[in-house]
């Protein structure tokens, strides 16, 4: 029973942190504290660097620091929630007309990484000693810091120029131009009807 509670605790922390991140993102945009892109970068950076910090500290936790390790894992899962208003929001915001293609493309790489991760961890932790797990944790730290820094520099949540068709407004202009002509035709018809009446 204790193992079940400890296994569920990180996901409970993640659930709570999702609510906190969502509230922060909405309030920041609503009150004008930050722009859309800056909110996305702030949430994504806190997730990446917070996660990296937790796993870096886990490198120093052996079996005698059980409670500390559990707390760090719970914090790590809480920081993961920042990716939702972070890069996940960016994926569906930069090109609304291409959301399905962009989301699918990014999900492919995520699934490949998720599939390979257990094999990589298994290959690195054959004996299950702390030194082997440190390699795993440091690998995660490097990935989090690298991807977090890259998104902080290059990431965006604004609609990109290449997703806005150049001729998108042409049909609207044609419709606007047709309105006066239609009115003139209707007025001429009404005048003709009036003249034809005795």
Taking only the tens place, the pLDDT of each residue in 102-116 is: 889 888 988 898 899
* Pairwise CA distance, residues 47 & 86, whole Å: 8
Tokens read off for 166: 């150049």
* Pairwise CA distance, residues 120 & 33, whole Å: 42
In whole angstroms, how far apart are CA 114 and each of 104, 107, 117, 166? 15, 10, 5, 39
* Pairwise CA distance, residues 46 & 93, whole Å: 20
In whole angstroms, how far apart are CA 124 and each of 41, 56, 62, 119, 128? 32, 17, 17, 9, 9
Q: What is the pTM of this model?
A: 0.75
pLDDT grade for 171, boundaries at 50, 70 and 90: low
* Pairwise CA distance, residues 122 & 105, whole Å: 27
Output the pLDDT for position 160. Answer: 86
Q: Is the predicted pLDDT of residue 9 greater than 70, yes or no?
A: yes
Q: Is the predicted pLDDT of residue 88 greater than 60, yes or no?
A: yes
Q: Is the predicted pLDDT of residue 45 greater than 70, yes or no?
A: yes
C-beta separation of 26 from 89 below 8 A: no
Total residue length of the chain: 198
* Pairwise CA distance, residues 112 & 131, whole Å: 26
Query: Tokens 């990446």 label which residue?
Result: 48
Output the pLDDT for position 97. Answer: 87
* Pairwise CA distance, residues 170 & 105, whole Å: 31
103 C-beta neighbours (distance < 10 Å), count: 13
Percent of the chain with pLDDT over 70: 82
């Amino acid at each position: 029973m204790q193992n079940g509670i400890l296994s569920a605790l990180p996901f409970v922390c993640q659930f709570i942190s999702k609510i906190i991140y969502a509230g922060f993102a909405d309030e920041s945009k609503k009150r004008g504290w930050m722009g859309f892109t800056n909110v996305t970068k702030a949430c994504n950076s806190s997730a990446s660097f917070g996660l990296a910090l937790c796993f870096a500290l886990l490198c120093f936790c052996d079996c005698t620091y059980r409670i500390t390790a559990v707390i760090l894992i719970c914090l790590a899962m809480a920081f993961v929630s920042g990716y939702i208003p972070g890069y996940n929001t960016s994926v569906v915001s930069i090109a609304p007309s291409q959301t399905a293609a962009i989301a699918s493309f990014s999900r492919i790489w995520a699934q490949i990484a998720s599939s390979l991760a257990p094999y990589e961890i298994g290959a690195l932790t054959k004996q299950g000693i702390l030194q082997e797990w440190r390699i795993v944790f440091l690998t995660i730290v490097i990935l989090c810091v690298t991807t977090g820094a890259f998104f902080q520099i290059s990431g965006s949540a604004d609609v990109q120029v290449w997703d806005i068709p150049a001729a998108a407004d042409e049909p609207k202009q044609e419709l606007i131009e047709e309105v006066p002509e239609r009115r003139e035709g209707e007025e001429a018809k009404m005048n003709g009807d009036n003249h034809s009446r005795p």
